[in-house]
Amino acid sequence: MRAVIQRVTQASVTVNEEVISEIGSGLLVLLGIESEDTEEDIIWLSKKIANLRVFNDEEGVMNQSLLQVNGDAIVVSQFTLHAATKKGNRPSYIKAAKPDIAIPVYEKFVERLELDLDKKVGTGVFGADMKVALLNDGPVTIQIDTKNKE
């Protein structure tokens, strides 16, 4: 499971010219799922995101988590995070999970993050042509891979 996490002052997801998710201050999470991803990956990544200290404290130091600032989150499925670009110029997405595996894992991840944050989490629409808008705050962008826990 791979995530690109962006601290935002606002973010939204639009499908067919309709805004389906919108947040103010918080995190936009782009989530790539592999067929080998497990419940353990879901739990670990959700806790990591909920507790990631990327928000400023009263002294302007990135020392507070999404939980501490009561921020919001949007999770958007993005299979292109598993693009392999080693050969040629056309990315291969062979490592990305197919929808029959990815959709349940994505839904479980969203449910888990809602539990960890104790609030509703915005989503995209799996497989849809989405327009994701954001105002990156900082900018702060973090990449996490559950198969490479550094």
Q: Which of 38, 80, 123, 146 is catalytic?
A: 80
CB 57 within 8 A of CB 64: yes
- DSSP string of 33-62? -BTT--HHHHHHHHHHHHH---EE-TTS-E
Structure token pair of residue 110: 């969203």
Report the helix count and the strand count for the chain, using DSSP H and E. Answer: 3, 8
Structure token pair of residue 60: 């302007």
Residue 122, strand partner residues: 74
Asked if 146 is an active-site residue, the reply is no
Active site residues: 80
